Amino acid sequence: MNSYEMTNMDNIYLDNNATTATDPEVVEAMIPYLQQAYGNASSVHSTGREAKVALESAREQVAAFIGCEPSEFYFTSGGTESDNIAVLGTAYHLRNRRDHLIVGATEHHAVLEPAEHLANREDFGLDILPVDGDGFASVADLEKLITPKTAIVSVMHGNNETGAIQDIAALADIARDKNVLFHTDAVQTCGKMPVDVRKLGVDMLSLTAHKVYGPKGIGGLFIRQGVKIAPLFYGGSHEKKRRPGTENVAGAVALAKTFGLAAARMEEDYARLTELADFFIEQVTAKIPDVSLNGPRTNRVPQTVNLSFMGIEGESIVLSLDLEGIACSSGSACTSGATGPSHVLAAMDKPPMAAQGAVRFSMGHATTQKDLEYVIEKLPPIIGRLREMSPLYSSSK
């Protein structure tokens, strides 16, 4: 059995953008720092020093993976915290000189909501960088929005709903020319494709473990040397006072192991998942009428396929597939309780009916063509049944 395969063999899991199963090798790497070498990395005794060595070794490994110096990498609880530290920390540090920020229209809420808080409660100016129909932002639009008061620009590397990969290097280059800090959320790309902070030209970058077969609750933030941010938390000197709190040593070790495994498997996985995604898109669109792909066909995080089924609710499709043992989603897991269509698809100017009927299928290391063939078998009758009951579909014909 592949180490990633689900324990429930009847379940086909196509929600890997929400989270992934933790690789057994990662779990194994964590165990010693939960049971034997469990010391506090800030303690001066031998047990603490052992934990400190493991923590700094993990920092060095993750830093090497993303192309930065160990001193530029900070452990956090995950992507949401990293995004908040980057956006809020920069804004608070620069607020007396620069009180304007720019964020992408299709950002994760971990960037959008801190930005909206700054605009609504802290009197910051906020501009939203628009995207085209495939979800891409343009250099020209960013140039128009940057002002002498802009403190930070934040644009996601790979979108969590559509997989669209932004040209971060080009966007960051514009910000650098204007002496504006640039942050990118690389939660959906780091570990799935090469991510090098120097080549991207970013000042800050967020990442996490649980999207690439690591555990939940551990992530990190790259902060380029020389960049200053205000702390959001107080209570200790950990992580150079930028993220105080007793370090999650086992989590740090897991993060390093996660990316170590990703480095060895990345090229093969990328090619295989690209082939599977193309197969899935072609088969579904051939067998079911009135289906459209949301996001680009190429230049996409390969395992992400977002399809709109006209005339029906995406959530109804998700629930119907779940009864057939297929797990997928109707959008970001972080907004599962939200009402209304996805803000990502709305920003891409998708019609409301198409946005309401969107379903995200996100594949993983364990996904096989046989899995997808099963989904393709079950999906047409589900769509047919739901459309028969839908007045929206009949009225759109």
Q: What is the DSSP string of 39-56?
A: --TT--SHHHHHHHHHHH
Domain(s) of CATH 3.90.1150.10: residues in the chain = 12-22+266-396
Q: Does residue 356 sit in helix, strand or coil?
A: helix
Q: Please tell me what DSSP assigns to residue 354.
A: H
Is the pLDDT at 6 greater than 50? The verdict is no
pLDDT in tens, 316-361: 999 999 999 999 998 655 545 555 679 999 999 999 999 999 999 9
The rounded distance, in Å, linking the Cα atoms of 251 and 76 is 10
Distances (CA, A) of 58 to 23, 174, 245: 17, 33, 17
**Sign of the torsion formed by the C-alpha atoms of 213, 214, 215 and 217:** negative
Q: Categorize the per-residue pLDDT at 41 as very low, low, confident or very high, splitting at 50, 70 and 90.
A: confident
Query: How high is the pLDDT of residue 340?
Result: 67
Is the pLDDT at 166 greater than 50? The verdict is yes
Identify the CATH class of 24-260.
Answer: alpha beta
Q: Categorize the per-residue pLDDT at 237 as very low, low, confident or very high, splitting at 50, 70 and 90.
A: confident
Give the residue carrying structure tokens 């299928």: 361
Is the pLDDT at 386 greater than 90? The verdict is yes
Query: How high is the pLDDT of residue 277?
Result: 97
Query: How high is the pLDDT of residue 143?
Result: 98
Is the pLDDT at 227 greater than 70? The verdict is yes
Q: Categorize the per-residue pLDDT at 167 as very low, low, confident or very high, splitting at 50, 70 and 90.
A: very high
CATH architecture of 12-22+266-396: Alpha-Beta Complex (3.90)
Query: How high is the pLDDT of residue 10?
Result: 66
Query: How high is the pLDDT of residue 221?
Result: 98
pLDDT in tens, 168-187: 999 999 999 999 999 999 99
Query: How high is the pLDDT of residue 338?
Result: 53
Give the burial class of 232: count Cβ atoms within 10 A of its Cβ; 0-12 exposed, 13-18 middle, 19 or more buried: middle
Both tokens of 298, joined, read 């190429």
The rounded distance, in Å, linking the Cα atoms of 278 and 77 is 34
The residues assigned a catalytic role are 334
For 107-143, letters b (16+ CB in 10 Å) and e give: bbbbbbbbbebbbeeeebebbbbbbeebbbbeeebbe
Q: What value does the mean pLDDT of the chain take?
A: 93
Mean pLDDT computed over 56-72: 98
Domain(s) of CATH 3.40.640.10: residues in the chain = 24-260
